[in-house]
Amino acid sequence: MASAAPIGSRMGALVFGIMGTIWWLAASNGLNGGAMFAFLVAGIVAGITTTVITARGTRNDGPMNAPQVTRTYNLVNLTQLVAIVVTVWACVRAGRQELIAPIVAAIVGVHFLPFRRLFQWSGYGVVGGLFVLVALVGLAVALTTGEVQMSLLVTGVGAALVLWGSAWALRQAQSTRPSLRA
């Protein structure tokens, strides 16, 4: 028998779609003028389309509100938030703002790893790995150019594409696995 659909797929698709759009919007700070406007419009259209279609094509199967799931989810996200705040503070204090986006992307990538088991979808491991890869590319750009805008552009676009692609992958994973409601 096939395993059940990933837990909380609709919520995952919503988060992937919305956060992908936020990363895209952040990346737009690396552009100017007409290119920035076109980039923003493209990202908003892609983000809304991805969020609406993938969320509507998924459901929240499984024990999303089980105490252990909620506790672990909240702990992972609180840890991520603290790590991001400390990163931003330390980078600003050190005058190395170009490192913020890639380090935040690495933190986000690592935060996905416990979700693989928690939400019963191996794709979270792939999402985490791809995010760390995006972080490494962004870090290389930051260290070679020293430019905040270029670091943000490269990291933001990579993060958005990973998240939007992950929303579609989550939708596909759910459509090929039976519901727990059966």
Domain boundary assignment for the chain:
9-175
7 has which bridge partners?
61
Q: φ, ψ for residue 61 (rounded to 5)?
A: -80, 160
53 has which bridge partners?
none
What mean pLDDT do residues 123-149 have?
Answer: 96
- Of the CA atoms within 13 Å of residue 112, those in its CB half-sphere come to 24
Angle at CA of residue 31, ends 27 and 37, nearest 5°: 90
Q: What is the pLDDT of residues 59-103, one digit of tens each?
A: 766 666 677 888 999 999 999 999 999 999 999 999 999 999 999
pLDDT band of 56, cuts 50, 70, 90: confident
- Specify the amino acid at residue 154: V
Alpha carbon distance 60, 70 (integer Å) = 14
Contacts of residue 31, Cβ cutoff 8 Å, sequence gap at least 6 = 39, 149, 153
CA distances from 36 to 40, 53, 84, 97, 127 (A): 6, 26, 26, 21, 27
Q: What is the pTM of this model?
A: 0.88
- Three-class secondary structure assignment of 44-75: HHHHHHHHHHHHHCCCCECCCCCHHHHHHHHH
| pLDDT exceeds 50 at position 175 | yes
The torsion of the CA quartet 85, 19, 25, 56, rounded to 10 degrees, works out to -160
Alpha carbon distance 26, 152 (integer Å) = 7
Pair of tokens at residue 167: 């929303």
